């Protein structure tokens, strides 16, 4: 795709007006999400990736699809059920979207199981890692399985015969269940012929067989296989004609009516229980299940064949993470690495002293998240620190960050935390950490009703002589040490007076009440971030219209906001070179003649989840750069508390710009979005050097842990 700068002025003025609202210029967001899931699945086939990591990508795909059905498909179905259909700028109504989703998802899921059965499991077997099927159990293994079933499984099982006094049970979202076909009459004279076996949720779904019953290697057996093999023992005197696993996916989105809520935490606890029993959206069954039984299940759940997924393997593949977590084959995984510590911090005993003299930038996971935690720990112990304020979105109740905040609160410091209870699928953990902080004496605020607090910021106020000095951390990621080893994110540690004052004002807005406070440097949603980004794009557009070179590079996780897309189209029409690095959903359609031929959209999928958000504008030589917690999505820009913070230090700005250039030049892990909405994987041209940005950054910062390119 050409990225040449278009002629402007007279040529642009003479061109016919372009309708930027034309639905053909937009990609449906859910279909774009499925494209991202497919890019993840493709990693399972990439033989340059270690084998267990390929399995991990397959399982991440499975987890992504679960959430896609629980939230996105469930949302579309709810629109139809309540007669409140929302049509986006792409013009596709919900019913059509659901039909297209079903067609694509069926293909993807069938392909997932084909990759597992035909590629990954045979490859794992060759390396001595195997899931032993029932038909391949040795006599010794059969005896071990039978003993395990009788001692551990059977006492936990509750068979449910289906008859007028035993109606179909209410099954938990994504739980493993079996439908059993029976023949015979039981002790009470019942002969309904059907029963449901819910698998106990307390039991592991995959077990490693003891070495004494195996002939070398790592051998695993699935709980579903164990139950299948011994189902007849649960129905004494009856003949089991068939036993088939199935799993139901339900709507897992939480709905809390702010007008009927006086306590968010209490309301959320009630909703967490109901999430387990939301409306049915998908049924997965073993592909050998007779049609009469699948029809029976579909009827019970109010689903149609379009929502039926017949699978050749375990109905919940994410349980296979147990193999990766227990494996003793490090050669089949990514080599370990030690995140770097910046030179300025390596021997620093007093982090406040370092940050008071210079801003410190960290790029996780290549650079350690430890300085962020250490700063908080130092603040907790420092008698001169008076207050600590922090937002918590995805953290974990037992994290080092929470430990330090608890220590600070117990030491008598003023600790104020803004805990976002509604971080999807982390609600329960956040309720726990909120309770823990409150018990330690911290002030816990739940943010603003109807506006999630997604900003990542920490502010420390310290008495230094006669003045009060502030120190801030601002980030693009979460305060989660585990994620900081898996996600790419930027952290900025600063004592910039104006920026810290802005952070203080934003905390004041979140914890108290009052009119909007004017910021000097910080951009914040839902107030100034969107307008400021639109202004920066418009300024770049004006430079192009004036015949000046114009360029922007934007690295984000998703691009769905129609206003942003229209602004980018206008920039492209004017001649701005637009490089978009969008990991996930992208509703902008590049390569449209006269509209977006100057836009190039790429997605990088590799070892680490690309999560950093960077906005860079050439600005006629006076470049502007912001890091942000927000993507270009309506929810981020209009309905969340988000931050965008400037990188003003020239050296730091140049460093990030060079890192962006590495991303733009990547030829190994990059997928390019085509005009038709599909993605093509980039490959180096003949004679062209291979560029793998994540490997290059590992080599640059860590020096080790980066496997050589094949």
Map out the domains of the chain as residue ranges: 10-24+524-701, 127-332, 349-519
- pLDDT value at 259 more than 50: no
Split at pLDDT 50, 70, 90, the class of 267 is very low
Find out whether 487 is annotated in a ligand binding site: yes
Residue 674 and residue 660: Cα distance in Å, rounded? 21
Report the candidate in 381, 442, 433, 440 with the shortest Cα–Cα distance to residue 402.
Answer: 433
Q: Which residue has the higher pLDDT, 652 or 689?
A: 652
- pLDDT tens per residue, range 148-185: 999 999 999 999 988 766 788 889 999 999 999 998 87
Report the candidate in 375, 417, 420 with the shortest Cα–Cα distance to residue 394.
Answer: 420
Residue 349 and residue 382: Cα distance in Å, rounded? 12
Q: What is the pLDDT of residue 256?
A: 47
Residue 291 burial class via C-beta count within 10 angstroms: exposed 0-12, middle 13-18, buried 19 and up: exposed
List the beta bridge partners of residue 245.
Answer: 178
Find out whether 37 is annotated in a ligand binding site: no
- pLDDT value at 272 more than 80: no
Rg (CA), the chain: 28
Among the listed residues 454, 480, 524, 691, the single catalytic one is 454
Q: What is the pLDDT of residue 13?
A: 46
- pLDDT value at 635 more than 80: yes
- pLDDT tens per residue, range 38-95: 999 999 999 999 999 999 999 999 999 999 999 999 999 989 988 888 999 999 999 9
For the whole model, what pTM was predicted?
Answer: 0.92
Tell me: domain 127-332, CATH 3.30.450.20, correct? Answer: no
- pLDDT tens per residue, range 123-156: 999 999 999 999 999 999 999 999 999 999 999 9
Average pLDDT over residues 372-390: 96
Q: What is the pLDDT of residue 434?
A: 83
- pLDDT value at 235 more than 80: yes
Find out whether 288 is annotated in a ligand binding site: no
Q: Which two tokens stand for residue 505?
A: 């004002």
Q: Which residue has the higher pLDDT, 279 or 432?
A: 279
Is 84 among the residues known to form the active site? Answer: no
Split at pLDDT 50, 70, 90, the class of 268 is very low
- pLDDT tens per residue, range 287-341: 999 999 999 999 999 999 999 999 999 998 999 999 998 888 999 999 999 999 9
- pLDDT value at 217 more than 70: yes
- pLDDT value at 12 more than 50: no
- pLDDT value at 4 more than 60: no
Q: Which two tokens stand for residue 221?
A: 């057996």
Q: Which two tokens stand for residue 224?
A: 């579903």
Average pLDDT, the chain: 90
Domain 127-332 identical in fold to domain 349-519:
no
- pLDDT value at 397 more than 80: no
Q: What is the pLDDT of residue 190?
A: 66
Find out whether 485 is annotated in a ligand binding site: no
CB 210 within 8 A of CB 200: no
Say what percent of the chain tops pLDDT 90.
76
- The hierarchical CATH code for the domain 349-519 is 3.30.870.10
List the beta bridge partners of residue 643.
Answer: 524
- pLDDT tens per residue, range 572-596: 999 999 999 999 999 999 999 999 9
Which CATH code of 3.40.640.10, 1.10.3720.10, 3.40.50.740, 3.30.870.10 fits the domain covering 10-24+524-701?
3.30.870.10
Find out whether 635 is annotated in a ligand binding site: no
- pLDDT value at 474 more than 60: yes
Average pLDDT over residues 482-499: 95
Split at pLDDT 50, 70, 90, the class of 706 is very low
CB 481 within 8 A of CB 401: yes
Q: What is the pLDDT of residue 1?
A: 35
């Amino acid at each position: 795709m050409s990225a040449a700068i278009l002629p402007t002025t007279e040529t642009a003025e003479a061109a016919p007006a372009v309708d930027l609202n034309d639905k053909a210029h937009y990609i449906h967001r859910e279909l774009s999400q499925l494209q991202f899931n497919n890019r993840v699945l493709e990693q399972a086939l990439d033989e340059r990736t270690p084998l267990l990591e390929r399995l991990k990508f397959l399982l991440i795909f499975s987890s992504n699809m679960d959430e896609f059905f629980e939230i996105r498909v469930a949302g579309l179905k709810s629109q139809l059920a309540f007669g409140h259909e929302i049509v986006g700028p792409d013009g596709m109504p919900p019913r059509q979207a659901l039909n297209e989703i079903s067609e694509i998802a069926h293909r993807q899921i069938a392909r997932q199981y084909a990759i597992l059965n035909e590629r990954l499991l045979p490859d794992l077997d060759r390396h001595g890692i195997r899931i032993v099927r029932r038909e391949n159990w040795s006599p010794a293994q059969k005896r071990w399985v039978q003993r395990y079933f009788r001692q551990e499984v059977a006492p936990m099982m509750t068979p449910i015969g289906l008859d007028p006094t035993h109606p179909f049970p209410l099954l938990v979202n994504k739980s493993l269940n079996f439908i059993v076909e029976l023949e015979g009459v039981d002790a009470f004279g019942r002969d309904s012929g059907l029963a449901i076996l819910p698998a106990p949720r307390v039991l592991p779904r995959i077990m490693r067989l003891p070495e004494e019953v195996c002939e070398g290697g790592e051998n695993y057996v699935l709980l579903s296989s164990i139950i299948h093999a011994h189902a007849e023992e649960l129905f004494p005197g009856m003949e089991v004609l068939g036993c088939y696993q199935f799993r139901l996916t339900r709507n897992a989105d939480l709905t809390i009516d702010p007008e009927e809520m006086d306590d968010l935490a209490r309301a959320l606890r009630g909703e967490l229980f109901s999430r387990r029993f939301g409306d049915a959206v998908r049924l997965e069954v073993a592909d050998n299940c007779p049609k009469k039984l699948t029809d029976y299940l579909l009827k019970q759940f109010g689903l149609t064949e379009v929502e039926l997924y017949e699978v050749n393997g375990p109905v919940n593949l994410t349980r296979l993470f147990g193999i990766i977590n227990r494996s003793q084959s490090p050669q089949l995984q990514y080599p370990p690495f030690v995140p770097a510590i910046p030179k300025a911090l390596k021997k620093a005993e007093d982090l406040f002293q370092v940050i008071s003299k210079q801003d410190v930038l960290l790029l996780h996971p290549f650079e350690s998240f430890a300085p962020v935690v250490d700063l908080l720990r130092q603040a907790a112990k420092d008698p001169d620190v008076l207050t600590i304020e922090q937002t918590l979105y995805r953290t974990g109740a037992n994290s080092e960050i929470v430990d330090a905040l608890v220590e600070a609160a117990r030491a008598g410091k003023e600790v104020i935390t803004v805990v976002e209870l509604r971080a999807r699928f982390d609600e329960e953990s956040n309720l726990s950490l909120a309770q823990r902080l409150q018990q330690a004496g911290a002030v816990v605020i739940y943010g603003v009703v109807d506006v999630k607090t997604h900003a990542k910021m920490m502010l420390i106020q310290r008495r230094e002589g006669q003045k009060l000095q502030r120190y801030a951390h601002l980030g693009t990621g979460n305060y989660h040490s585990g994620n900081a080893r898996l996600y790419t994110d930027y952290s900025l540690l600063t004592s910039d007076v104006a920026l810290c004052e802005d952070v203080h004002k934003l905390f004041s807005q979140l914890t108290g009440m009052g009119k909007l406070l004017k910021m000097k440097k910080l951009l914040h949603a839902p107030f100034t971030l969107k307008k400021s980004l639109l202004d920066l794009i418009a300024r770049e557009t004006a430079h192009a219209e004036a015949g000046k070179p114009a360029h922007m590079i934007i690295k984000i996780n998703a691009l769905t906001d129609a206003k942003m897309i229209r602004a980018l189209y206008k920039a492209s029409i004017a001649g701005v070179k637009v490089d978009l690095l969008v990991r996930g959903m992208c509703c902008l359609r590049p390569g449209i003649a006269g509209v977006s031929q100057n836009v190039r959209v790429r997605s990088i999928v590799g070892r680490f989840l690309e999560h950093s958000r960077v906005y860079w504008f050439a600005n006629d030589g006076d470049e502007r750069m912001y890091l942000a917690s927000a993507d270009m999505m309506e929810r981020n820009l209009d309905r969340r508390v988000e931050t965008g913070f400037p990188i003003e230090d020239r050296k730091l700005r140049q460093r990030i710009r060079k890192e962006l250039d590495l991303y733009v030049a990547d030829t190994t892990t990059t997928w390019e979005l085509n005009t038709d909405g599909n993605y093509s994987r980039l490959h180096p041209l003949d004679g062209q050097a291979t560029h793998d940005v994540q490997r290059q950054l590992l080599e640059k910062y860590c020096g080790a842990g980066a496997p050589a390119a094949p």
